[in-house]
Structure 1
């Protein structure tokens, strides 16, 4: 999360059009729904209408679309015709899931598109398209709008673009939600970046950082297993975990008490329960967990179960490292994993009394 002091510094750089800040931050403008580079020639927004991001992907996930004047997804002073062609194609149909066949239909080589997008702004074309789709849904989750308000404010003349994007990611067209089991999703800001929580009235089902790779697929699997649609909103469970997260990051909580629903195989659930037994401030290995559940040769399956965890922090998969002491993987990113481990070692080794 960007500090207030840094936000003011970035805003002054935006006002002064300081070129040395190119690539350091992007600014999302709430009133227009676009995000820009620091040197954008457009009229400058008020500070309260700005949101600042370290990467273009973060801006996309927050639902902002690239500015057509400063073209933030292109290298300064150079606009790749291929990149711009594909960005425009996505903006014409943001909810579409792109395949190699789609690229061939518009005479674009998939490997070339992947390489140029990766070179220009650090993510592939598919990752960009996915982030744009997720941004449409996360925008409404973040605002907590009603479905009807969300449809009207989505930025499409007909509203069909939002309906399609919402349906593809969250499971049902807004007009049909009343006939299905419904889960609520909410945006939770944390010091390590925003998270998305999905819950019923009684149990927390998903808690992930919104920039986690594969989050869209996780939501799809969740709604398929529960036969539910997901809409913006809050439940008592989401309020509970939000309060616990606040205490966790303040160094005041070592164990989450919010009720959870585990969606997995019996083996996965056994691994996840074992993860919850790892004390904060300590780490273990996949091999150690395999031994504790009575399956010492199943350390690879333990690693897969660890990666399939959908309740970040609540089920502390970040406390599992490689046997050689290396951090290993983490769906939320290794920098977050390192931060969490240090935070727990420094602040959470002893429970703070209520």
Structure 2
């Protein structure tokens, strides 16, 4: 496929900035080296005139470019590093363990590397991840009727005050108040357009967002406060369901989502979100048209705010709302993703 000059310049700028919002949307072949890369490649950037852009890795291979050894464009865009894979397995093998520097040395992993890679992948350090996992186990034990002191010792805390402080910091309440805690599980999902975070309980999905969305931390904190929940690493049936449905969606094999969801918004916002879900895949609407559909034709600004408050990206398809003049308008996940999603749905339909 031949791109317009403007699109090539846009992609080149994304390459210079290592913009993760363009992940999965293009690959760049470097004529001087004969390799092709993904947009976020850390290698030194080529000159614009030495770049050739492709929609898929297959096109780059057919043009005789070989895959870059630094960004691995033939692997999943967000493949799990071996360090992360080993440590997650180690935690699941012995989730009650409290990690020390000597434990990292025994498996030949540098503690600072573990910290950095977990922070990049999960938004928390390895120690924070392991601690949250331990507290999840303690919560399950206490809810199952075990004494708090037994749960404390089982997750490696000799001090009652230390256990109580750590538990309260993660769960938002003391162990003695556990009956009032609602727990949400948070899981990282790899998609063609970059990593997403999914948050759910055993019944429904509460949040699905691109990890690099601006203000995501505040969004998650609002969710925690609204639901009065502890949010800990883990998975749940709705997360497993949406992961499968997203894979089918990006493969062009699905246009509707059936994973159960839970809205957290005003009655007006929920009405807007329901109308968004009724927009056919591959179609778009304007803010003013959506305002008319919800019965308040002059409230297009309120509709736009409700659109921006949507916490279930792709499922509640706010990317299908554009300006009345045909411009894309805004999108929390980035305009490049919005354009890709609209075009993908048109092709799928």
Q: Secondary structure at the match of 2:303?
A: helix
- TM superposition shift of 1:174: 10
Could you say which residue in structure 2 is the equivalent of 1:309? 310
Could you say which residue in structure 2 is the equivalent of 1:330? 331
Residues matched between the structures, number? 226
- TM-score with structure 2 setting the length: 0.56
Could you say which residue in structure 2 is the equivalent of 1:155? none
- The 1:250/1:136 distance shift into structure 2, 3 A limit, reads closer
- TM superposition shift of 1:137: 3.4
User: Structure 2 CA distance, aligned partners of 1:269 and 1:187?
Assistant: 26
Could you say which residue in structure 1 is the equivalent of 2:123? 137
- TM superposition shift of 1:293: 1.0
Q: Rg: which structure is higher?
A: 2
User: Structure 2 CA distance, aligned partners of 1:343 and 1:178?
Assistant: 48
5+ long unaligned stretches in structure 1: 12-16, 23-46, 59-63, 65-131, 151-163, 350-354
Counting only pairs closer than 5 Å after superposition, residues 71-220 of structure 1 correspond to structure 2 as 137=123, 147-148=133-134, 172=171, 179=178, 180-220=181-221
User: Structure 2 CA distance, aligned partners of 1:288 and 1:177?
Assistant: 52
| Equivalent residues of 2:135, 2:167 under 8 A apart | no
- The 1:165/1:338 distance shift into structure 2, 3 A limit, reads farther
- The 1:185/1:145 distance shift into structure 2, 3 A limit, reads farther
| Equivalent residues of 1:134, 1:216 under 8 A apart | no
User: Structure 2 CA distance, aligned partners of 1:305 and 1:229?
Assistant: 26
User: Structure 1 CA distance, aligned partners of 2:247 and 2:135?
Assistant: 29
- The 1:277/1:176 distance shift into structure 2, 3 A limit, reads same
User: Structure 2 CA distance, aligned partners of 1:275 and 1:165?
Assistant: 41
- The 1:295/1:194 distance shift into structure 2, 3 A limit, reads same
| Equivalent residues of 2:209, 2:312 under 8 A apart | yes
User: Structure 1 CA distance, aligned partners of 2:339 and 2:266?
Assistant: 29
Alpha-carbon displacement from aligned partner over 1:240-284 (angstroms, at most 9, x marks no partner)? 000000000011111100000000000000000000000011000
- The 1:259/1:19 distance shift into structure 2, 3 A limit, reads closer
- TM superposition shift of 1:147: 1.6
User: Structure 2 CA distance, aligned partners of 1:240 and 1:186?
Assistant: 12
Could you say which residue in structure 1 is the equivalent of 2:240? 239
Q: Is 2:257 aligned against 1:256? A: yes
User: Structure 1 CA distance, aligned partners of 2:298 and 2:123?
Assistant: 41
Q: Secondary structure at the match of 1:196?
A: strand
- TM-score with structure 1 setting the length: 0.55
